[in-house]
């Protein structure tokens, strides 16, 4: 079984924003509403989503290619390299996409690397309100990791 590398956590998160066309307005509304929190982090996006975020907010965004042109695959590769921390991906649940295999691959990689992933506004709201975006998550998780390590040692395991 291949091992997934655990990457050190960053306090300033690298957040990637992606939305399919029918959900772009939803994502833009969410970004505008949460601008005060998001401006404290680094934003990334697929091509068209990123262009819209840049045009409608003053938030700096690092853009990958457009999703259908390989952008989802670029994002997946960055996750595998430990360079992205949070995925906000408002994908379209009603229409098939020409690049559906890329969408599935990206969602798979996000699960594999334990990336907090929001696919709708309710979940995105929970993430942005959570300790993840406010610098507390690292401490909570490190505490948990230390306790688990001690328990494993007590069991004679590593
Ligand atoms: O297709 C996408 C994600 O699968 C999004 O790509 P765009 O941001 O370029 O529209």
Domains, the chain: 14-154 (3.40.50.1380)
Q: Is the ipTM value over 0.90, yes or no?
A: yes
- Report the alpha-carbon distance of residue 128 to residue 117 in Å, rounded: 11
pTM of whole model > 0.90?
no
Q: DSSP state, 155?
A: T
Which residue, among 40, 57, 39, has the nearest Cα to 49 in the 3D structure? 57
Whether pLDDT at 44 is above 70: yes
Q: Hey, whose CA ends up nearest to atom 5 of ligand 1?
A: 67
Distances from the Cα of 150 to the Cαs of 6, 72, 141, 147, 156, in angstroms? 18, 39, 14, 5, 10
pLDDT digit string (tens) for 89-125?
A: 999 999 999 999 999 999 999 999 999 999 999 999 9
Residue matched to tokens 């068209």: 48
- Report the alpha-carbon distance of residue 73 to residue 122 in Å, rounded: 25
- Report the alpha-carbon distance of residue 132 to residue 114 in Å, rounded: 13
Q: Hey, whose CA ends up nearest to atom 3 of ligand 1?
A: 67
21 labelled catalytic: no
Assigned token pair, 98? 């020409």
Average pLDDT value for residue range 66-72: 98
DSSP 3-state of 98: coil
Residues with CB under 6 A from ligand 1: 18, 20, 46-49, 66-68, 71-72, 103
């Amino acid at each position: 079984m291949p091992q997934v590398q655990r990457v050190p956590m960053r306090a300033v998160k690298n957040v990637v924003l992606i939305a399919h066309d029918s959900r772009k307005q939803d994502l833009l509304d969410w970004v505008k509403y949460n601008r005060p929190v998001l401006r404290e982090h680094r934003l990334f996006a697929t091509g068209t989503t990123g262009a819209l975020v840049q045009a409608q907010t003053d938030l700096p965004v690092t853009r990958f290619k457009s999703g259908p042109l390989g952008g989802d695959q670029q994002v997946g590769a960055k996750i595998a390299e430990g360079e992205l921390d949070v995925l906000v991906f408002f994908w379209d649940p009603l229409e098939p996409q020409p690049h559906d295999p890329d969408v599935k691959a990206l969602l798979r990689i996000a699960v594999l690397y334990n990336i907090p992933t929001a696919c709708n506004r309710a979940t995105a709201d929970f993430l942005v309100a959570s300790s993840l975006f406010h610098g507390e998550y690292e401490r909570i998780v490190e505490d948990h990791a230390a306790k688990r390590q001690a328990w494993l040692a007590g069991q004679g395991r590593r």
